[in-house]
Chain A
Amino acid sequence: MPRKIKDAVAYMVIYLAAFYSVLLLAGIIVYVFAKGFPVFDLPFFTTVSSVVKGTVGIAGNILNTVYIVVLTLLAAVPAGVGAAVWLNEYATPGRGVRLIEFATETLAGIPSIVFGLFGMMFFGTTLGFGYSILTGSLTLSLMILPLITRNTQEALRAVPDSYRNGAIGMGAGKWHMIRTILLPSAMPGIVTGILLAVGRIVGESAALLFTAGSGYLLPEAGSGFVSKIMESGGTLTIQMYLSLARAEYDTAFGIAAVLLCIVLAFNLLIKILTRNKFFAG
Protein backbone atom coordinates (compact mmCIF):
# COMPACT_ATOMS: atom_id res chain seq x y z
CA MET A 1 0.00 0.00 0.00
CA PRO A 2 1.38 3.41 -0.86
CA ARG A 3 2.38 5.52 2.08
CA LYS A 4 -0.18 8.20 1.37
CA ILE A 5 -3.12 5.84 1.61
CA LYS A 6 -1.72 4.24 4.74
CA ASP A 7 -1.39 7.65 6.32
CA ALA A 8 -4.89 8.63 5.32
CA VAL A 9 -6.32 5.46 6.82
CA ALA A 10 -4.35 6.03 10.02
CA TYR A 11 -5.68 9.58 10.28
CA MET A 12 -9.18 8.32 9.78
CA VAL A 13 -8.84 5.78 12.57
CA ILE A 14 -7.39 8.40 14.91
CA TYR A 15 -10.24 10.80 14.19
CA LEU A 16 -12.79 8.02 14.61
CA ALA A 17 -11.40 7.14 18.04
CA ALA A 18 -11.60 10.73 19.20
CA PHE A 19 -15.02 11.15 17.67
CA TYR A 20 -16.19 8.03 19.51
CA SER A 21 -15.45 9.58 22.93
CA VAL A 22 -17.29 12.77 22.07
CA LEU A 23 -20.22 10.92 20.58
CA LEU A 24 -20.40 8.75 23.67
CA LEU A 25 -20.54 11.75 25.99
CA ALA A 26 -23.04 13.59 23.83
CA GLY A 27 -25.17 10.45 23.62
CA ILE A 28 -25.12 9.93 27.39
CA ILE A 29 -25.99 13.54 28.15
CA VAL A 30 -28.73 13.87 25.56
CA TYR A 31 -30.30 10.52 26.43
CA VAL A 32 -30.25 11.08 30.19
CA PHE A 33 -31.59 14.62 29.92
CA ALA A 34 -34.28 13.62 27.44
CA LYS A 35 -35.49 10.88 29.77
CA GLY A 36 -34.78 12.70 33.00
CA PHE A 37 -36.09 16.22 32.52
CA PRO A 38 -39.73 15.13 32.01
CA VAL A 39 -39.57 13.64 35.52
CA PHE A 40 -38.65 17.00 37.04
CA ASP A 41 -41.43 18.77 38.83
CA LEU A 42 -41.64 20.58 42.12
CA PRO A 43 -42.67 17.59 44.28
CA PHE A 44 -39.75 15.59 42.85
CA PHE A 45 -37.35 18.00 44.53
CA THR A 46 -39.36 18.95 47.61
CA THR A 47 -40.87 15.71 48.89
CA VAL A 48 -39.78 12.24 49.80
CA SER A 49 -41.22 9.14 48.18
CA SER A 50 -44.27 7.88 49.99
CA VAL A 51 -46.73 5.19 49.04
CA VAL A 52 -49.37 6.62 51.34
CA LYS A 53 -49.18 10.14 49.94
CA GLY A 54 -48.44 8.89 46.44
CA THR A 55 -45.40 11.14 46.07
CA VAL A 56 -42.12 10.40 44.36
CA GLY A 57 -39.39 12.74 45.58
CA ILE A 58 -35.72 12.96 46.35
CA ALA A 59 -35.62 15.80 48.88
CA GLY A 60 -34.29 13.45 51.57
CA ASN A 61 -31.57 12.14 49.29
CA ILE A 62 -30.50 15.64 48.30
CA LEU A 63 -30.17 16.55 51.97
CA ASN A 64 -28.24 13.34 52.71
CA THR A 65 -25.87 14.13 49.86
CA VAL A 66 -25.24 17.59 51.29
CA TYR A 67 -24.64 16.09 54.75
CA ILE A 68 -22.16 13.57 53.42
CA VAL A 69 -20.32 16.09 51.23
CA VAL A 70 -19.91 18.54 54.11
CA LEU A 71 -18.92 15.98 56.74
CA THR A 72 -16.51 14.22 54.41
CA LEU A 73 -14.78 17.47 53.51
CA LEU A 74 -14.61 18.49 57.16
CA ALA A 75 -12.71 15.32 57.93
CA ALA A 76 -10.59 15.02 54.81
CA VAL A 77 -9.55 18.56 53.87
CA PRO A 78 -7.55 19.45 56.99
CA ALA A 79 -5.86 16.06 57.08
CA GLY A 80 -5.17 16.02 53.34
CA VAL A 81 -3.82 19.55 53.20
CA GLY A 82 -1.79 18.93 56.36
CA ALA A 83 -0.20 15.84 54.89
CA ALA A 84 0.68 17.73 51.72
CA VAL A 85 2.24 20.56 53.72
CA TRP A 86 4.31 18.09 55.69
CA LEU A 87 5.47 16.27 52.56
CA ASN A 88 6.34 19.46 50.74
CA GLU A 89 7.62 21.77 53.45
CA TYR A 90 8.79 19.83 56.50
CA ALA A 91 9.82 16.37 55.42
CA THR A 92 13.41 15.60 54.59
CA PRO A 93 13.68 13.17 51.68
CA GLY A 94 14.12 9.62 52.88
CA ARG A 95 12.31 6.59 54.16
CA GLY A 96 9.45 8.44 55.81
CA VAL A 97 8.54 10.42 52.73
CA ARG A 98 8.75 7.36 50.50
CA LEU A 99 6.50 5.42 52.83
CA ILE A 100 3.90 8.15 52.97
CA GLU A 101 3.98 8.71 49.22
CA PHE A 102 3.55 5.00 48.65
CA ALA A 103 0.63 5.03 51.08
CA THR A 104 -0.94 7.94 49.19
CA GLU A 105 -0.55 6.15 45.86
CA THR A 106 -1.99 2.97 47.32
CA LEU A 107 -4.92 4.75 48.89
CA ALA A 108 -5.66 6.37 45.53
CA GLY A 109 -5.67 2.96 43.87
CA ILE A 110 -8.01 1.17 46.27
CA PRO A 111 -11.44 0.67 44.67
CA SER A 112 -14.45 2.16 46.38
CA ILE A 113 -16.03 -1.18 47.17
CA VAL A 114 -13.01 -2.02 49.34
CA PHE A 115 -13.38 1.30 51.14
CA GLY A 116 -17.01 0.33 51.59
CA LEU A 117 -16.10 -2.99 53.20
CA PHE A 118 -13.50 -1.39 55.44
CA GLY A 119 -15.83 1.43 56.44
CA MET A 120 -18.59 -1.03 57.27
CA MET A 121 -16.29 -3.07 59.51
CA PHE A 122 -14.19 -0.34 61.09
CA PHE A 123 -16.48 2.68 61.48
CA GLY A 124 -19.71 0.70 61.42
CA THR A 125 -18.88 -2.28 63.63
CA THR A 126 -15.63 -1.62 65.53
CA LEU A 127 -16.41 1.99 66.38
CA GLY A 128 -20.12 1.24 66.54
CA PHE A 129 -21.45 3.98 64.27
CA GLY A 130 -23.63 1.47 62.40
CA TYR A 131 -25.24 2.35 59.09
CA SER A 132 -25.10 6.11 59.36
CA ILE A 133 -24.19 9.28 57.57
CA LEU A 134 -21.19 9.54 59.89
CA THR A 135 -19.91 6.09 58.89
CA GLY A 136 -20.37 6.95 55.22
CA SER A 137 -18.61 10.29 55.54
CA LEU A 138 -15.63 8.90 57.42
CA THR A 139 -15.29 6.16 54.83
CA LEU A 140 -15.41 8.61 51.96
CA SER A 141 -12.95 10.93 53.67
CA LEU A 142 -10.33 8.17 53.50
CA MET A 143 -11.17 7.73 49.84
CA ILE A 144 -10.70 11.38 48.88
CA LEU A 145 -7.68 12.00 51.10
CA PRO A 146 -5.16 11.27 48.32
CA LEU A 147 -7.03 13.52 45.90
CA ILE A 148 -6.80 16.47 48.30
CA THR A 149 -3.18 15.75 49.19
CA ARG A 150 -2.02 15.45 45.59
CA ASN A 151 -3.70 18.62 44.42
CA THR A 152 -2.36 20.53 47.40
CA GLN A 153 1.14 19.17 46.85
CA GLU A 154 1.04 20.20 43.21
CA ALA A 155 -0.14 23.66 44.16
CA LEU A 156 2.55 24.02 46.83
CA ARG A 157 5.23 22.92 44.37
CA ALA A 158 4.13 25.68 42.02
CA VAL A 159 4.77 28.37 44.66
CA PRO A 160 8.17 29.89 43.86
CA ASP A 161 10.95 29.37 46.39
CA SER A 162 11.57 33.11 46.39
CA TYR A 163 8.37 33.56 48.42
CA ARG A 164 9.61 31.10 51.02
CA ASN A 165 13.04 32.74 51.20
CA GLY A 166 11.54 36.19 51.30
CA ALA A 167 9.37 35.39 54.28
CA ILE A 168 11.93 33.30 56.16
CA GLY A 169 14.60 35.91 55.47
CA MET A 170 12.44 38.40 57.29
CA GLY A 171 12.33 36.30 60.41
CA ALA A 172 8.95 34.66 59.85
CA GLY A 173 8.56 31.25 61.44
CA LYS A 174 7.85 28.36 59.11
CA TRP A 175 4.25 27.91 60.11
CA HIS A 176 3.67 31.64 59.87
CA MET A 177 5.16 31.62 56.38
CA ILE A 178 2.99 28.66 55.37
CA ARG A 179 -0.14 30.27 56.74
CA THR A 180 0.34 33.72 55.30
CA ILE A 181 2.17 33.05 52.04
CA LEU A 182 2.06 29.43 50.89
CA LEU A 183 -1.52 28.43 51.62
CA PRO A 184 -3.03 31.61 50.11
CA SER A 185 -0.86 31.18 47.00
CA ALA A 186 -1.81 27.52 46.75
CA MET A 187 -5.50 28.18 47.37
CA PRO A 188 -6.74 27.78 43.77
CA GLY A 189 -5.07 24.37 43.57
CA ILE A 190 -6.48 23.33 46.92
CA VAL A 191 -9.96 24.46 45.91
CA THR A 192 -9.68 22.55 42.64
CA GLY A 193 -8.85 19.44 44.65
CA ILE A 194 -11.85 20.03 46.88
CA LEU A 195 -14.17 20.48 43.90
CA LEU A 196 -12.87 17.26 42.33
CA ALA A 197 -13.45 15.56 45.65
CA VAL A 198 -17.03 16.83 45.83
CA GLY A 199 -17.58 15.41 42.35
CA ARG A 200 -16.33 12.03 43.51
CA ILE A 201 -18.43 12.08 46.66
CA VAL A 202 -21.59 12.98 44.78
CA GLY A 203 -20.99 10.22 42.24
CA GLU A 204 -19.92 7.58 44.73
CA SER A 205 -22.09 4.57 45.38
CA ALA A 206 -20.17 1.38 46.12
CA ALA A 207 -18.44 2.82 49.20
CA LEU A 208 -21.72 4.10 50.60
CA LEU A 209 -24.01 1.15 50.06
CA PHE A 210 -22.84 -0.67 53.20
CA THR A 211 -21.80 2.35 55.25
CA ALA A 212 -24.35 5.14 54.98
CA GLY A 213 -27.25 2.88 54.17
CA SER A 214 -30.31 3.92 52.22
CA GLY A 215 -32.54 6.05 54.42
CA TYR A 216 -34.47 8.56 52.37
CA LEU A 217 -36.64 10.41 54.87
CA LEU A 218 -36.14 14.01 55.90
CA PRO A 219 -34.94 14.57 59.46
CA GLU A 220 -37.43 15.89 61.97
CA ALA A 221 -37.30 19.62 62.46
CA GLY A 222 -35.06 20.93 65.23
CA SER A 223 -32.60 18.57 66.85
CA GLY A 224 -33.35 15.98 64.18
CA PHE A 225 -30.87 17.74 61.94
CA VAL A 226 -28.06 16.88 64.35
CA SER A 227 -29.11 13.36 65.22
CA LYS A 228 -29.53 12.67 61.51
CA ILE A 229 -25.75 12.30 61.38
CA MET A 230 -26.04 9.06 63.33
CA GLU A 231 -28.89 7.77 61.16
CA SER A 232 -28.89 5.93 57.88
CA GLY A 233 -29.04 8.17 54.82
CA GLY A 234 -28.80 7.29 51.14
CA THR A 235 -27.30 9.83 48.73
CA LEU A 236 -28.71 10.53 45.28
CA THR A 237 -26.55 7.84 43.69
CA ILE A 238 -27.62 5.23 46.22
CA GLN A 239 -31.27 6.11 45.66
CA MET A 240 -30.71 5.86 41.92
CA TYR A 241 -29.17 2.40 42.30
CA LEU A 242 -32.07 1.25 44.45
CA SER A 243 -34.61 2.68 42.01
CA LEU A 244 -32.93 0.77 39.21
CA ALA A 245 -32.98 -2.43 41.22
CA ARG A 246 -36.73 -1.90 41.77
CA ALA A 247 -37.25 -1.11 38.07
CA GLU A 248 -38.41 2.45 38.84
CA TYR A 249 -36.70 3.74 35.73
CA ASP A 250 -38.33 7.18 35.63
CA THR A 251 -37.04 8.06 39.07
CA ALA A 252 -33.62 6.68 38.12
CA PHE A 253 -33.45 8.87 35.04
CA GLY A 254 -34.60 11.88 37.01
CA ILE A 255 -31.81 11.38 39.53
CA ALA A 256 -29.32 10.68 36.75
CA ALA A 257 -30.22 14.02 35.17
CA VAL A 258 -29.70 15.77 38.52
CA LEU A 259 -26.33 14.06 38.94
CA LEU A 260 -25.21 15.03 35.44
CA CYS A 261 -26.20 18.64 36.10
CA ILE A 262 -24.04 18.60 39.23
CA VAL A 263 -21.11 17.04 37.35
CA LEU A 264 -21.40 19.60 34.55
CA ALA A 265 -21.59 22.49 37.01
CA PHE A 266 -18.52 21.35 38.94
CA ASN A 267 -16.51 20.82 35.79
CA LEU A 268 -17.37 24.32 34.71
CA LEU A 269 -16.36 25.70 38.10
CA ILE A 270 -13.01 23.94 37.94
CA LYS A 271 -12.43 25.25 34.42
CA ILE A 272 -13.10 28.82 35.54
CA LEU A 273 -10.92 28.43 38.60
CA THR A 274 -7.91 26.96 36.80
CA ARG A 275 -8.08 29.47 33.99
CA ASN A 276 -7.91 32.59 36.11
CA LYS A 277 -4.51 33.52 37.40
CA PHE A 278 -4.93 34.30 41.03
CA PHE A 279 -3.50 37.10 43.08
CA ALA A 280 -4.53 37.58 46.65
CA GLY A 281 -4.92 41.05 48.13
Chain B
Amino acid sequence: MNCIKIETTDLNLYYGNYHALKAVTMDIRADAVTALIGPSGCGKSTFLKTINRMNDLIQGVRITGRVCLDGEEIYAPGVDVTTLRRRVGMVFQQPNPFPMSIYDNIAYGPRVHGEKNKNRLDEIVERSLRRAAIWEETKDRLKKPAPGLSGGQQQRLCIARALAVEPEVLLLDEPTSALDPVSSLRIEELLLQLKKSYTIVIVTHNMQQAVRISDDTAFFLAGTVVEWGRTGQFFSRPRDRKTMDYIAGRYG
Protein backbone atom coordinates (compact mmCIF):
# COMPACT_ATOMS: atom_id res chain seq x y z
CA MET B 1 0.00 0.00 0.00
CA ASN B 2 0.97 3.62 -0.15
CA CYS B 3 3.30 5.28 2.30
CA ILE B 4 3.11 8.91 3.29
CA LYS B 5 5.10 11.09 0.90
CA ILE B 6 4.44 14.54 2.29
CA GLU B 7 3.23 15.54 5.70
CA THR B 8 2.47 18.99 6.97
CA THR B 9 2.15 19.81 10.62
CA ASP B 10 0.51 22.95 11.96
CA LEU B 11 1.44 24.87 8.81
CA ASN B 12 0.68 28.60 8.94
CA LEU B 13 1.37 31.05 6.13
CA TYR B 14 1.08 34.83 6.21
CA TYR B 15 1.15 37.31 3.33
CA GLY B 16 2.22 40.31 5.36
CA ASN B 17 -0.59 40.53 7.91
CA TYR B 18 -2.97 38.29 6.02
CA HIS B 19 -3.23 34.83 7.52
CA ALA B 20 -3.60 32.70 4.39
CA LEU B 21 -3.09 29.19 5.77
CA LYS B 22 -4.17 28.31 9.28
CA ALA B 23 -2.73 25.34 11.11
CA VAL B 24 -2.87 22.99 8.15
CA THR B 25 -2.06 19.43 9.16
CA MET B 26 -2.46 16.72 6.59
CA ASP B 27 -0.75 13.86 4.81
CA ILE B 28 -0.28 13.15 1.15
CA ARG B 29 0.16 9.54 0.12
CA ALA B 30 2.79 8.36 -2.30
CA ASP B 31 1.74 7.12 -5.74
CA ALA B 32 -1.79 8.42 -5.38
CA VAL B 33 -3.74 11.44 -6.58
CA THR B 34 -4.68 13.93 -3.90
CA ALA B 35 -7.23 16.56 -4.92
CA LEU B 36 -7.43 19.91 -3.16
CA ILE B 37 -10.85 21.49 -3.50
CA GLY B 38 -12.52 24.58 -2.12
CA PRO B 39 -13.88 27.97 -3.14
CA SER B 40 -11.65 30.65 -4.70
CA GLY B 41 -9.21 32.21 -2.30
CA CYS B 42 -9.48 29.39 0.25
CA GLY B 43 -5.74 28.76 0.28
CA LYS B 44 -5.56 25.55 -1.75
CA SER B 45 -3.18 27.00 -4.36
CA THR B 46 -1.12 28.63 -1.64
CA PHE B 47 -0.85 25.28 0.11
CA LEU B 48 0.23 23.64 -3.13
CA LYS B 49 2.99 26.19 -3.57
CA THR B 50 4.34 25.61 -0.06
CA ILE B 51 5.16 22.05 -1.07
CA ASN B 52 7.91 23.09 -3.51
CA ARG B 53 8.56 26.46 -1.90
CA MET B 54 7.34 28.54 -4.83
CA ASN B 55 6.04 30.97 -2.21
CA ASP B 56 9.65 31.94 -1.62
CA LEU B 57 9.33 34.10 -4.73
CA ILE B 58 6.63 36.27 -3.19
CA GLN B 59 7.52 39.27 -1.07
CA GLY B 60 6.50 39.31 2.58
CA VAL B 61 5.60 35.66 2.99
CA ARG B 62 6.16 34.12 6.41
CA ILE B 63 5.71 30.45 7.20
CA THR B 64 5.54 28.56 10.49
CA GLY B 65 5.07 24.85 11.09
CA ARG B 66 6.54 21.88 9.31
CA VAL B 67 6.38 20.48 5.79
CA CYS B 68 8.19 17.19 5.39
CA LEU B 69 9.07 15.35 2.21
CA ASP B 70 9.93 11.73 2.98
CA GLY B 71 10.43 12.80 6.55
CA GLU B 72 12.83 15.62 5.75
CA GLU B 73 11.82 19.12 6.80
CA ILE B 74 11.85 21.24 3.60
CA TYR B 75 11.82 24.63 5.32
CA ALA B 76 14.81 23.75 7.48
CA PRO B 77 17.93 25.86 7.04
CA GLY B 78 20.37 24.33 4.60
CA VAL B 79 17.74 22.98 2.26
CA ASP B 80 18.63 23.44 -1.39
CA VAL B 81 15.43 24.63 -3.05
CA THR B 82 16.64 23.70 -6.50
CA THR B 83 17.00 20.07 -5.44
CA LEU B 84 13.64 20.25 -3.72
CA ARG B 85 11.98 21.58 -6.86
CA ARG B 86 13.65 18.92 -8.90
CA ARG B 87 12.00 16.29 -6.73
CA VAL B 88 8.70 18.15 -6.54
CA GLY B 89 7.68 19.32 -10.01
CA MET B 90 4.93 21.77 -10.77
CA VAL B 91 2.45 22.39 -13.59
CA PHE B 92 0.63 25.69 -13.72
CA GLN B 93 -2.91 26.75 -14.56
CA GLN B 94 -1.96 28.50 -17.80
CA PRO B 95 0.11 26.29 -20.09
CA ASN B 96 3.49 28.07 -20.12
CA PRO B 97 5.79 26.58 -22.74
CA PHE B 98 9.02 28.56 -23.00
CA PRO B 99 9.53 30.45 -26.26
CA MET B 100 11.82 27.76 -27.67
CA SER B 101 11.45 24.51 -29.52
CA ILE B 102 9.51 21.52 -28.16
CA TYR B 103 12.77 19.64 -27.74
CA ASP B 104 14.47 22.47 -25.86
CA ASN B 105 11.45 22.85 -23.61
CA ILE B 106 11.70 19.25 -22.45
CA ALA B 107 15.48 19.33 -22.29
CA TYR B 108 15.41 22.52 -20.25
CA GLY B 109 15.08 20.83 -16.87
CA PRO B 110 17.73 18.14 -17.42
CA ARG B 111 20.09 20.83 -18.72
CA VAL B 112 19.39 22.94 -15.63
CA HIS B 113 20.52 20.02 -13.56
CA GLY B 114 23.67 19.50 -15.56
CA GLU B 115 22.84 16.96 -18.29
CA LYS B 116 24.86 17.77 -21.41
CA ASN B 117 25.07 14.43 -23.24
CA LYS B 118 23.13 14.71 -26.49
CA ASN B 119 22.11 11.05 -26.67
CA ARG B 120 20.88 10.96 -23.11
CA LEU B 121 18.93 14.18 -23.69
CA ASP B 122 17.32 12.65 -26.79
CA GLU B 123 16.33 9.68 -24.68
CA ILE B 124 14.90 11.82 -21.89
CA VAL B 125 12.93 13.94 -24.35
CA GLU B 126 11.35 10.94 -26.00
CA ARG B 127 10.61 9.17 -22.72
CA SER B 128 9.06 12.28 -21.19
CA LEU B 129 6.92 13.02 -24.20
CA ARG B 130 5.76 9.40 -24.31
CA ARG B 131 4.84 9.43 -20.63
CA ALA B 132 2.86 12.62 -21.14
CA ALA B 133 1.10 10.97 -24.11
CA ILE B 134 2.15 13.63 -26.56
CA TRP B 135 4.99 11.83 -28.37
CA GLU B 136 2.94 10.81 -31.39
CA GLU B 137 1.76 14.35 -32.00
CA THR B 138 5.16 15.97 -31.64
CA LYS B 139 7.81 13.50 -32.78
CA ASP B 140 7.98 15.01 -36.27
CA ARG B 141 8.17 18.62 -35.10
CA LEU B 142 10.52 18.52 -32.14
CA LYS B 143 12.48 21.48 -33.47
CA LYS B 144 9.39 23.63 -33.99
CA PRO B 145 8.53 26.40 -31.51
CA ALA B 146 6.43 25.02 -28.64
CA PRO B 147 4.12 28.05 -28.47
CA GLY B 148 2.71 26.85 -31.81
CA LEU B 149 0.96 23.86 -30.16
CA SER B 150 -2.72 23.91 -29.18
CA GLY B 151 -3.66 24.72 -25.58
CA GLY B 152 -4.24 21.10 -24.59
CA GLN B 153 -1.01 19.99 -26.27
CA GLN B 154 0.87 22.80 -24.56
CA GLN B 155 -0.36 21.63 -21.17
CA ARG B 156 0.69 18.04 -21.84
CA LEU B 157 4.02 19.41 -23.02
CA CYS B 158 4.36 21.24 -19.71
CA ILE B 159 3.62 17.99 -17.87
CA ALA B 160 6.25 16.25 -20.00
CA ARG B 161 8.67 19.05 -19.21
CA ALA B 162 8.04 18.58 -15.50
CA LEU B 163 8.52 14.79 -15.83
CA ALA B 164 11.83 15.19 -17.64
CA VAL B 165 13.73 15.87 -14.41
CA GLU B 166 12.38 12.64 -12.84
CA PRO B 167 10.40 14.22 -10.03
CA GLU B 168 8.72 12.12 -7.37
CA VAL B 169 5.88 14.51 -6.74
CA LEU B 170 3.88 16.39 -9.34
CA LEU B 171 1.95 19.47 -8.24
CA LEU B 172 -0.77 20.65 -10.60
CA ASP B 173 -2.51 23.99 -10.07
CA GLU B 174 -5.87 23.76 -11.87
CA PRO B 175 -4.17 22.30 -14.92
CA THR B 176 -7.34 21.94 -16.96
CA SER B 177 -9.23 25.14 -16.14
CA ALA B 178 -7.85 26.94 -19.20
CA LEU B 179 -8.62 24.02 -21.53
CA ASP B 180 -11.60 22.74 -23.49
CA PRO B 181 -13.47 19.63 -22.18
CA VAL B 182 -11.85 17.17 -24.59
CA SER B 183 -8.33 18.34 -23.77
CA SER B 184 -9.24 18.24 -20.07
CA LEU B 185 -10.29 14.61 -20.31
CA ARG B 186 -7.03 13.69 -22.02
CA ILE B 187 -5.10 15.30 -19.18
CA GLU B 188 -7.20 13.41 -16.63
CA GLU B 189 -6.49 10.10 -18.36
CA LEU B 190 -2.84 11.01 -18.36
CA LEU B 191 -2.86 11.72 -14.62
CA LEU B 192 -4.47 8.34 -13.92
CA GLN B 193 -1.59 6.75 -15.85
CA LEU B 194 1.03 8.79 -14.05
CA LYS B 195 -0.15 8.09 -10.51
CA LYS B 196 1.26 4.61 -10.82
CA SER B 197 4.72 6.06 -10.42
CA TYR B 198 4.26 9.62 -9.16
CA THR B 199 2.69 11.29 -6.16
CA ILE B 200 0.21 13.71 -7.63
CA VAL B 201 -1.38 16.71 -5.91
CA ILE B 202 -3.94 18.58 -7.94
CA VAL B 203 -5.85 21.76 -7.17
CA THR B 204 -9.19 21.77 -8.92
CA HIS B 205 -12.33 23.81 -9.01
CA ASN B 206 -14.21 20.97 -10.58
CA MET B 207 -15.65 18.48 -8.08
CA GLN B 208 -16.48 15.95 -10.76
CA GLN B 209 -12.85 16.00 -11.73
CA ALA B 210 -11.83 15.33 -8.13
CA VAL B 211 -14.22 12.37 -7.98
CA ARG B 212 -13.01 11.00 -11.32
CA ILE B 213 -9.30 11.05 -10.72
CA SER B 214 -8.38 11.39 -7.06
CA ASP B 215 -7.76 8.82 -4.36
CA ASP B 216 -7.75 11.34 -1.53
CA THR B 217 -9.49 14.68 -1.27
CA ALA B 218 -8.90 17.65 1.01
CA PHE B 219 -11.40 20.46 1.40
CA PHE B 220 -10.01 23.94 2.11
CA LEU B 221 -12.09 26.81 3.43
CA ALA B 222 -10.77 30.21 4.49
CA GLY B 223 -7.22 28.93 4.97
CA THR B 224 -8.06 25.84 6.99
CA VAL B 225 -8.41 22.21 5.99
CA VAL B 226 -11.97 21.38 6.95
CA GLU B 227 -11.69 17.73 6.11
CA TRP B 228 -9.39 15.31 4.31
CA GLY B 229 -9.47 11.61 3.53
CA ARG B 230 -10.31 8.95 0.98
CA THR B 231 -12.23 10.42 -1.95
CA GLY B 232 -14.97 7.81 -1.87
CA GLN B 233 -15.79 8.36 1.77
CA PHE B 234 -15.23 12.09 1.45
CA PHE B 235 -17.97 12.55 -1.09
CA SER B 236 -20.38 9.87 0.11
CA ARG B 237 -20.12 10.35 3.87
CA PRO B 238 -18.59 13.75 4.69
CA ARG B 239 -18.21 14.28 8.41
CA ASP B 240 -18.31 18.04 8.44
CA ARG B 241 -21.41 20.13 7.83
CA LYS B 242 -19.39 22.64 5.78
CA THR B 243 -18.07 19.90 3.51
CA MET B 244 -21.59 18.71 2.93
CA ASP B 245 -22.70 22.23 2.04
CA TYR B 246 -19.84 22.66 -0.37
CA ILE B 247 -20.42 19.33 -2.09
CA ALA B 248 -24.08 20.22 -2.42
CA GLY B 249 -23.08 23.41 -4.16
CA ARG B 250 -23.95 25.83 -1.41
CA TYR B 251 -20.58 27.63 -1.55
CA GLY B 252 -19.05 29.51 -4.47
Contact = CB atoms under 8 A, between A and B. Distances in A.
B112 A176 contact: yes
A166 B143 CA distance: 20
A169 B54 contact: yes
Contacts of B52: 169
B3 interface: no
A164 B98 CA distance: 9
B104 A281 contact: yes
A259 to B, nearest CB: 36
How large, as a class, is the contact surface on chain A? 20 to 34
Given A165-B92, A169-B92, A170-B108, A280 B100 contact: yes
B229 interface: no
A185 B23 CA distance: 41
B147 interface: yes
Nearest to B145: A279
B82 A173 contact: yes
How large, as a class, is the contact surface on chain B? 20 to 34
Contact of A167 (B59, B98, B113): B98
9 closest A-B pairs (Cβ-Cβ)?
A162-B96, A281-B100, A171-B85, A281-B101, A171-B86, A169-B90, A171-B82, A172-B112, A279-B145
A171 B96 contact: no
Contact of B82 (A93, A172, A279): A172
B100 A184 contact: yes
Given A162-B96, A181-B98, A279-B145, A171 B112 contact: yes
A276 interface: no
Interface in B83-133: 83-86, 89-90, 92, 94, 96, 98-101, 104, 108-109, 111-113
Contact of B89 (A169, A176, A180, A279): A169
A159 B99 CA distance: 10
A160 interface: yes
A93 B60 CA distance: 12
Contacts of A279: 99-100, 145, 147
Contacts of B92: 162, 165-166, 169
Nearest to B84: A171
Nearest to B85: A171
